[in-house]
Amino acid sequence: MSASESEVLPSKDRVDPVPEHEESLSTRIGGWLRSHYLALINIALAVYVIMPLLAPVFMKTGQTRAADVIYRFYKPLCHQLAYRSFFFFGDQPVYPRQLAEVEGLKTYEEVSGLDSQEQTAAMVYRGNEQVGYKVALCQRDIAIYASLLLFGLIFALAGRQIKPLPWAVWILFALGPMALDGASQLISQQEIPALGWFAMRESTPFLRVFTGAMFGWFTAWFGLPSIEEMMNEGKSTTRSIVTPSEGA
């Protein structure tokens, strides 16, 4: 504020900085979170993505108890169906259902000897030395959270200068592809008489990863810059207060 403005404005309208020693604990915590929220989000995402990748590593090295802890932790967060998950240290990185008709790959039914209709068995199946060992998050979830993390890192490197994506674009590119792939798969496998003309289908590993990555990337593009804008709205007032006029 210029000298002339401070002379014209009444004292009750002047904004004076708050001395640092008078800042409340909540104000300091708020300021710290505004400065470090992105790092906290990226760290949380990194841990969330890396942990399920360690489950097959622990299985391979014989640390089955550690692997079991990870599988159990992620079980409420993901279906963990073997035919929709990645495998490490085996003949193939994926073993899709026969229904997916992916050429050149052994199917889940072939390597496990199980019926893919038995979902409970597919959830608990973790693999073996030849097949490899299952990652504790499915293909689509890995793609979602890895792309969220990737955008978060790029956003940090760009100095948080990327503008948020319009919500309509987010709906089109984030929700659209995944909803189309997932919904068409789900509906086709429900055996609804009225939809008998709708051919039964199973999404492929490529489509799961592609649509998951699209959802994660564009969701991060919509969300993180929006959070940054909200954080910036409060920065200008964090260290200032409105002082009341004398005698008020």
Which pLDDT score is estimated for 27?
77
Does the residue 246 lie in any domain? Answer: no
Rounded to whole angstroms, the Cα distance separating 224 from 233 reads 14
Instruction: Give just the sign of the alpha carbon dihedral 39, 219, 53, 153.
Output: negative
- The H or E element containing residue 235 is helix 205-238
Does the residue 140 lie in any domain? Answer: yes
Rounded to whole angstroms, the Cα distance separating 169 from 181 reads 18
Which pLDDT score is estimated for 243?
44
Which pLDDT score is estimated for 26?
76
Does the residue 245 lie in any domain? Answer: no
**Phi, psi angle pair for 144, to nearest 5°:** -60, -55
Does the residue 181 lie in any domain? Answer: yes
Q: Provide, for the chain, the percentages of residues in helix, strand and coil under a 3-state DSSP scheme, each rounded to the nearest 5.
A: 65, 10, 30
Does the residue 16 lie in any domain? Answer: no
Taking a C-beta distance cutoff of 8 angstroms, is the pair 132, 85 a contact? no
Does the residue 190 lie in any domain? Answer: yes
Q: DSSP 3-state assignment of 193?
A: helix
Does the residue 146 lie in any domain? Answer: yes
- The H or E element containing residue 32 is helix 25-60
Which pLDDT score is estimated for 201?
85
Q: Looking at the 3D structure of the chain, how many domains does it have?
A: 1
Q: What is the residue range of 99's domain?
A: 23-234
Q: Which two tokens stand for residue 208?
A: 């799961």
Instruction: Give just the sign of the alpha carbon dihedral 38, 39, 40, 43.
Output: positive
Which pLDDT score is estimated for 29?
79
Which pLDDT score is estimated for 127?
97
What is the strand order of the sheet 132-138 is part of?
85-88, 132-138, 127-128
Show pLDDT as tens, one digit a residue, over the chain (248 residues). 455 544 555 555 555 555 555 567 777 877 787 888 999 999 999 999 999 999 999 999 999 999 999 999 999 999 999 999 999 999 999 999 999 999 999 999 999 999 999 999 999 999 999 999 999 999 999 999 999 999 999 999 999 999 999 999 999 999 999 999 988 888 777 766 666 555 678 999 999 999 999 999 999 999 999 999 988 875 655 544 444 444 44
Which pLDDT score is estimated for 200?
76
Alpha-carbon distances of 203 from 82, 83, 104, rounded to whole Å: 14, 10, 16
Does the residue 13 lie in any domain? Answer: no
